[in-house]
Amino acid sequence: MLKQTPLNAAHRALNARLVDFGGWEMPLHYGSQIEEHHRVRKDAGMFDVSHMLAVDVGGEGATAFLRRVLANNVDRLRGAGKALYSCMLNDSGGILDDLIVYFLEQRRFRVVVNAATAEKDLAWLSSQIGHAAAVAVTPRRDLAIIAVQGPAARAKVWRALPESKEATEPLGPFFATQWGALLFGRTGYTGEDGFEIMLPAADAPALWQALLDAGVGPAGLGARDTLRLEAGMNLYGQDMDESVTPLECGLKWTVDLESPRDFVGKAALLASEPRAQMLGLILVERGVLRAHQEVETRGGRGEITSGSFSPTLETSIALARVPIGVQPEESARVKIRDKWHTARTVKYPFVRNGRSLIAGLVSSIR
């Protein structure tokens, strides 16, 4: 039996195509993945991400606990509402999960972890409590999460919830604020502006309907994947896992190796050199780039971790793990159905805030 979010009935009413995603019944699309993608880039779309798990970490030892279990440094969370992207690592430096942590108030944080790894994450966090005094790790299965993304996202949220504007309009990127029972985070996974809204699960259907009435269209997992790929954002289980370190998947910026603070996996990262790096790819010839396709570069062989047709760029793009030393805008080849196709390496992200960051390169290869 697949798990269902509080919005499952709403998805069915909109004739969503529902699929198994990590044990959850989730909408793949509501009729057209491409239209949903463009809606988010040009206007506003919303995603049910209630399958992800919010975990509250509190108590006298909460800050010390998070200093140890996160590769990024929670001491950077100065001021209530500040958010931080980080990974949790194993002792070998491999990635257990990537997450966002919000500083709610003194000695109280909220961590949002991925759905497929939620139970594993909870078990691992619980196993680490012995290293910190007076800390409580509490899964918030009573909450739902709706992400509203796109250039018109905030304005349409305020149309749906006009009284929230005063509290949420001052929010800067990667900040959050509590408004009644709702936590608004100016965060997301699409490369666009907007809010991720955490609220009591029982209240989620009413908010979903209010957003529909305000002109926010629903979007499914398909559009979410092409949007995050264009934005150059890693997907756990594809672009990273426990066999890969943050230094090998473009996430070095999320790791604090400079401070004297120790954390799980730090010693391993300091003792070893990255075995590979992450670069973007654009396909020069016709075809579609997909995960696990072999890549050939001047520095040796690599592999695509995520690939798809980009609706915004109207060409095929990918993230690929390739040998150290390969540079952006070099020639490469990708094996598609046993034939080699010409590609170019590129620095990602490909698209951000509705704008192509590689327009010149795309034009030159057409």
State how far the Cα of 96 lies from the Cα of 124, in Å rounded to an integer.
9
Give the count of alpha carbons within 13 A of 153, CB side only. 32
Q: Across residues 203-210, what is the average pLDDT?
A: 98
Confidence of residue 365 (pLDDT cuts 50, 70, 90): low
What phi, psi does 62 have (nearest 5°)?
A: -60, -45
What separation in angstroms does the CA of 308 have from each of 223, 345, 366? 11, 15, 17
* Protein fold of 276-365: Elongation Factor Tu (Ef-tu); domain 3 (2.40.30)
Q: What is the pLDDT of residue 359?
A: 74
pLDDT band at residue 363 under the 50/70/90 scheme: low
Where are the chain's structural domains? 276-365
Predicted TM-score of the model (pTM): 0.96
The H or E element that residue 200 is part of is strand 194-200
Position 131 scores a pLDDT of 64
Per-residue pLDDT, 29: 98
Residue 45 pLDDT: 98
- The DSSP string of 218-261 is E--HHHHHHHHHHTT---BTTTB-TTS-GGGTT-GGG---SSS-
pLDDT of 72:
98
pLDDT of 11 higher than 70: yes
Give residue 78's pLDDT band: very low, low, confident or very high (50, 70, 90). Answer: confident
Classify 72 as helix, strand or coil.
coil
